[in-house]
Structure 1
């Protein structure tokens, strides 16, 4: 600035300094949070980060004092306020600008840290021999351990560091060869066991050695390779990377690090480092920021997208953003996140048949509850109910440990990382002939010829209108509809279900229904019907009683007021879920006792006005005695006002899972 501008812009410089100070404080807090998290994980903080925090604290304190002193001083006027103190104003303007530039420089330095705040360290613990790093494909595991290897060599933590990629189909000889070359060992023998023996003896000669086995897909027999570990050689440390926590557990790993996605701030920093200052220009920045967000913190997706778009014009960025926001098979084939797609698809291909089917179904329904997953899976008739509970919980855990699903702390709900879900949807569209619409206000139903080939239709959080008079698809087995506004629910035509008689699962969730289409009775193969969170009001649901093969019926959190007598005809029903039906007061007499195959009944938070069974007396509502006539019942959740209406021996029923609330008291099975 010119000398005159320091005087002229004194007030503006002072305001700019205060704004820059606030920005630097925010940056410092962000860095400090990341440092604290890293220290909690016993990671080592980068020296440049530690120095930056010291400098930032010093500069912030200095600037704050200057501002405080300036505000406490007079207005820079003299001679009883009649004339400005020109020299003081000039000095303050110059000082404010100098301080602001120093703060700005520090903030820019912090942005160059990217994600390099810290790095994992291996404890100097002679009993810790195997550690693991796991995370979804494309998350940066290999990059992380290679950087750790570089630093381990630089800091002389080990006498030697050896890196070997294992791959899906481990080649034992190749792994042995890679390790031997680093050791300067020549392996001329053909027999694996002889090579392993020589390798074993050579490795034992190394006092401190780190072996990194990258991209491990299944448990390895270290003895077959010739790697000593544990009591055989305390100085030989092993570091594995994998997509599946279960692999590390089976390998006996003693310390495992999960690598998660980048947060929004970290992702944008990485994006800018790869793209350069080009993405900061005013015309492009808004779209570039949206593209970075669409990659949802997945490093490999960020890297591939920004490299593909670097130095491209704005229209190409906008087109890429549209493709990222609208997953389909073609959007991946045409290039933007192609490597992310192939990496995630590789994880999918390595799953067993059941896990493949589960992850594809999850992609059509997530985020949701595991109970919903059970209900929908039961609709396909592959599992029995008790088997479904056990196996699906186990499969969800496996998919979580493979970093393909995100499961909440209660293990009741799950979701999927957006990029991963989009890839899974693309695979479902290709392999399952699925039609998927998600988060869209403008879309069109497929033409009649295309519709005939679909096995599944999933419409989630989208405007659902212009519903066809009748679906014509002899192949369709799964239909899920969740509109983005239940108060503007679509009118489902009477003949809507006429041409889809193979349907096994129908879920109309969060919908405003004026009636159930009469053609629903034609769904002779329907196994699962979910009307969860739907506004049913006073519509007649008696037609559901005609679905003779129905096994799962769910009204969770709907506003249903009564269950009619016709529902007693569902003699094959295995599960009924009425949880949180706060308006349900009446269940027609003998409906419950007619459901003789019922295994699970959920009625928590239902204000049903239970009646007491009396001889020679007609009832207008259901009685708790009816529950005593369900020989297959294993699970019960129910609320009653007081224990006076409970039948004798009610609490002695042999139930595997139950939650019985009487007034303000709840009874549940003890935890074994």
Structure 2
């Protein structure tokens, strides 16, 4: 009887699962509805003011986890529906299936309840102050004073500043400089002072309302559902912009658009918002209701010559060349784009015969058969295209036209495409090929056919007229390489079957395509770019049947769940990009047939194990993979079987990273731990490896790798990201964007170790980025040896509760952290000081960013000694340090101390209840570069040591109205002056 009772006790939970399936499912739906409602509330709060506010990182993480739960709930609902259908066709239910489903439902309901409970701690603190970019700078040529462009710019600026003018139209023929003058306007310092935000929108010929709404929403950091109607999006945009003073810059308008349909409020005198547009046709200005139309005229003869000479160089002054050069300038028709591009193509050319040929080609009406646009512009610009040194460079230039208009093109991605398609010699090593790509890119940029981005050295862009030229060239049958480009056109249907024929490169990126043709006939297709089609879920089984020549396939950021078996026909494929395909769970066995692949990128997918067939890809040079550590995954799956990696003997770049959505780290981390050692041993056998990202769950694994890897011992590995220990977050969260990782390309993260080992010191001495997470025994960074950290440019310290001081300068003889640019310190329960002691000259001399979060025992930040070392600090952010009393220590500041942090641009102080002073003295400090101050929940801070005269570049103060009204001033006139710069908020965050 006891045995029966025990059996009943053991079975009871399982019987309960089966018996209560329907009730559990109903409860799941109820809990999910509550959670989704909370999510919607949070998103509304976030979207209310995306310009001046940003969501807290904890909220972003919560929203991400809710989205993941949403997907799982949808899957459970589908499975429940299928189970219900099966029950109707059977005499008896499938007990095992019922039990598994019911258990899954109960676990998911518990997970949802926890997320709902977690939401309560966010109420009222969903967002914090942001430091917004009022303007996103645009790349533009430098224009000398006294030119017609400068005069036109000043005329536009005068109209923008005129309260009677609300819409200004700029018009003129293509290539005359409309976009240039608009970019110059966008970048003006005066514009920053006049508006809260400047929004740049490029329209293009076949623009739609949805495209314009998307561009504006992205600038405002607003997110919408795919299913949101144009009217709903317009309503949200309208609400967001109504209370803002904005400048909307609309470039390249071809026809009238209704701003109200888009969601843009009519600019009026009350708020001072403005709209400036460029167009080739004055009639468009009239139809848009502009208050002023300004024509951009061609350059005068002198201006044209000065610009041309600047581009060509001193050779233009040669007696034998100058007459020819002036004839070339005359053929450019005063169009600055043509002058700059043609001049760049003839730079330092000293052969008279080449100049004579240039005159002949430019003056002949038969030099180009490009038609149907502005013939004279294209005829001149095509001359520069033809002047590129060979077909390979010309093809590399044309490839950039596959991106959307006005797109910021990431140069690493572009060069990766070039290499995969064979435009760069495939026999070169990865590094040599990339160097070759940069050299080609430099030649194209030097020819002014691509523009450098002033904001980022890792991006280029293409002038819209130049892009029109490239697309016109590649649309002709006789061009030798036909393109079909419909990038970012918001199309929902793919090209028709007949359009796929005879195309060499096709770009359909950034659209709303949800389906693809079943079996397109495109045997000549070399590149197919389908990334960022969020609605694309499935690929027809026979889709790749006729794509034998395909070399580059990008399906990144789509919702595909699998690849069709017809992928086996891509026998010439060299680059397969599947980044962030969040629904992709497996790679088919047919992947092993693609033996020509050199680049395979499957990061941020749902793939939890690599098929053994990957080992057959013996030409693979780049492998990037990440594994999601999910609660519902099969615990028995082996992520990477032993031996697979060692078969890939040509690998030069390997990235294996992991992500977690589960707080139960141990169970899921151990899964990687079981195979990490064998994979690490395989990696040690790779003799060509130059770049490696890897998580070593144990320090001894790192030690074995350092001892066993020839590329490491020989210094061949020049780029690495090593994570060592039991890290509980995503191993990708420390990785910056692609462009930042180019600089931070030697990264070490140590997690939770009690002691400092020789292996970690060896890696640290080669690193430029260091993260210390949860270290339990380290009292100061100095224990790692300052000489081992001299190459660091970024340092992140979190949760190291034994640490009392970050940097101890006592008795140092050499400069400490001389190259460090960023220092992030967070969740340090016992930290009493950031720095102590006297530091040698050169210490911390490059520090630009300092951010402190949740350092509860910190009393002050800067002493007089250290603050003089931080002459390059640009950003200071201090948040949630509950005992912080001072920013600058009062007792160590003398009367002569006046100029402080000369390059500081952004100062943000948030949730500092004990803060009483930035500097306790009554003198005003000089802040020669300070642009923005944000103060939030610092109720005991009673004085601001700034004035208009001591902070001449200050343009904004973000603070609470009550706090501002209670500030103490020696001179009330200073308050009146500074109040003009204030963005005052009520306690709730509203204006």
Q: Flag the structure with more relative contact order, 1 or 2, with Cα contacts below 8 A and sequence separation at least 6.
A: 1
Equivalent runs, 1:176-215 vs 2, <5 Å? 214=329
- Alignment match of 1:533 (pick from 572, 577, 580): 580
1:434 maps to 2:483? yes
Shift of 1:249: 8.3
1:451 maps to 2:500? yes
CA distance in 2, matches of 1:349, 1:364: 19
SS in 2 for 1:344: helix
1:549 maps to 2:549? no
Partner of 1:636: 692
Shift of 1:358: 0.5
1:518 maps to 2:579? no
Equivalent runs, 1:30-429 vs 2, <5 Å? 43=145, 104=164, 143=299, 146-147=302-303, 175=321, 214=329, 242-243=340-341, 333-335=371-373, 337-352=374-389, 353-365=391-403, 367=407, 368-381=409-422, 382-383=424-425, 384=428, 385-408=430-453, 409-429=455-475
Kept in 2, the 8 Å contact 1:437–1:460? The answer is yes
CA distance in 2, matches of 1:245, 1:589: 58
CA distance in 2, matches of 1:164, 1:480: 38
String of CA shifts for 1:75-107, please: whole Å, max 9, x gaps. Answer: xxxxxxxxxxxxxxxxxxxxxxxxxxx975999
CA distance in 1, matches of 2:442, 2:531: 26
- Alignment match of 1:599 (pick from 638, 649, 652): 652
Shift of 1:516: 0.6
After superposition, the Cα gap between the structure-2 partners of 1:248 and 1:522, relative to the gap in structure 1 and judged at 3 Å, is closer
Equivalent runs, 1:472-491 vs 2, <5 Å? 472-484=521-533, 486=534, 488-491=535-538
CA distance in 2, matches of 1:645, 1:658: 19
Shift of 1:612: 9.8
After superposition, the Cα gap between the structure-2 partners of 1:653 and 1:560, relative to the gap in structure 1 and judged at 3 Å, is farther
Shift of 1:410: 4.5
Partner of 1:587: 640
After superposition, the Cα gap between the structure-2 partners of 1:215 and 1:356, relative to the gap in structure 1 and judged at 3 Å, is farther
CA distance in 2, matches of 1:582, 1:246: 52
Partner of 2:838: none
CA distance in 1, matches of 2:588, 2:561: 11
Kept in 2, the 8 Å contact 1:635–1:656? The answer is yes
CA distance in 2, matches of 1:461, 1:49: 35
Partner of 2:545: 498
Kept in 2, the 8 Å contact 1:165–1:215? The answer is no
Shift of 1:632: 1.6
Shift of 1:452: 2.7
Partner of 1:467: 516
CA distance in 1, matches of 2:625, 2:343: 37
CA distance in 2, matches of 1:639, 1:248: 51
Shift of 1:246: 7.0
CA distance in 2, matches of 1:426, 1:50: 31
After superposition, the Cα gap between the structure-2 partners of 1:643 and 1:340, relative to the gap in structure 1 and judged at 3 Å, is farther
CA distance in 1, matches of 2:153, 2:419: 55
After superposition, the Cα gap between the structure-2 partners of 1:45 and 1:479, relative to the gap in structure 1 and judged at 3 Å, is closer
Kept in 1, the 8 Å contact 2:517–2:543? The answer is yes
String of CA shifts for 1:345-379, please: whole Å, max 9, x gaps. Answer: 33222212222110111111464433322332233
Q: How many residues align?
A: 424
Partner of 1:564: 611
String of CA shifts for 1:470-517, please: whole Å, max 9, x gaps. Answer: 122222222111244x1x224211111112222222111211112211
- Alignment match of 2:715 (pick from 635, 654, 665): 654
After superposition, the Cα gap between the structure-2 partners of 1:538 and 1:423, relative to the gap in structure 1 and judged at 3 Å, is same
After superposition, the Cα gap between the structure-2 partners of 1:433 and 1:635, relative to the gap in structure 1 and judged at 3 Å, is same
1:625 maps to 2:681? yes
After superposition, the Cα gap between the structure-2 partners of 1:645 and 1:489, relative to the gap in structure 1 and judged at 3 Å, is same
CA distance in 2, matches of 1:498, 1:52: 59
Partner of 2:885: none
After superposition, the Cα gap between the structure-2 partners of 1:216 and 1:402, relative to the gap in structure 1 and judged at 3 Å, is farther
SS in 1 for 2:299: helix
Shift of 1:520: 0.5
CA distance in 2, matches of 1:377, 1:176: 38
Query: Gaps spanning 5+ residues in structure 1: where?
Result: 1-32, 61-101, 119-137, 151-161, 180-210, 218-239, 253-328
After superposition, the Cα gap between the structure-2 partners of 1:174 and 1:106, relative to the gap in structure 1 and judged at 3 Å, is farther
After superposition, the Cα gap between the structure-2 partners of 1:43 and 1:642, relative to the gap in structure 1 and judged at 3 Å, is farther
CA distance in 2, matches of 1:510, 1:373: 17
CA distance in 2, matches of 1:593, 1:556: 20
SS in 2 for 1:398: helix
Larger Rg: 1
Kept in 2, the 8 Å contact 1:605–1:638? The answer is no
After superposition, the Cα gap between the structure-2 partners of 1:643 and 1:437, relative to the gap in structure 1 and judged at 3 Å, is same
Shift of 1:519: 0.6
String of CA shifts for 1:514-548, please: whole Å, max 9, x gaps. Answer: 22111101221211111122224423444322212
Higher helix proportion, which one? 1
After superposition, the Cα gap between the structure-2 partners of 1:638 and 1:52, relative to the gap in structure 1 and judged at 3 Å, is same
Partner of 2:744: none
After superposition, the Cα gap between the structure-2 partners of 1:411 and 1:564, relative to the gap in structure 1 and judged at 3 Å, is farther
Query: Gaps spanning 5+ residues in structure 2: where?
Result: 1-134, 172-177, 186-279, 281-295, 333-337, 351-367, 661-667, 725-748, 751-763, 769-790, 793-818, 820-991
String of CA shifts for 1:415-456, please: whole Å, max 9, x gaps. Answer: 323332233222222221222212234476555455331122
After superposition, the Cα gap between the structure-2 partners of 1:104 and 1:340, relative to the gap in structure 1 and judged at 3 Å, is same
Kept in 2, the 8 Å contact 1:504–1:527? The answer is yes
After superposition, the Cα gap between the structure-2 partners of 1:365 and 1:247, relative to the gap in structure 1 and judged at 3 Å, is closer
CA distance in 1, matches of 2:652, 2:532: 31
Kept in 2, the 8 Å contact 1:524–1:549? The answer is yes
After superposition, the Cα gap between the structure-2 partners of 1:536 and 1:50, relative to the gap in structure 1 and judged at 3 Å, is closer
CA distance in 2, matches of 1:399, 1:51: 32
Kept in 1, the 8 Å contact 2:609–2:627? The answer is no
CA distance in 1, matches of 2:331, 2:151: 33
After superposition, the Cα gap between the structure-2 partners of 1:378 and 1:178, relative to the gap in structure 1 and judged at 3 Å, is closer
After superposition, the Cα gap between the structure-2 partners of 1:490 and 1:437, relative to the gap in structure 1 and judged at 3 Å, is farther
CA distance in 1, matches of 2:154, 2:415: 53
After superposition, the Cα gap between the structure-2 partners of 1:652 and 1:441, relative to the gap in structure 1 and judged at 3 Å, is same
Shift of 1:166: 8.5
Kept in 2, the 8 Å contact 1:164–1:178? The answer is no
SS in 1 for 2:530: strand
After superposition, the Cα gap between the structure-2 partners of 1:463 and 1:345, relative to the gap in structure 1 and judged at 3 Å, is farther
Alignment RMSD (CA, Å): 5.5
Shift of 1:333: 2.6
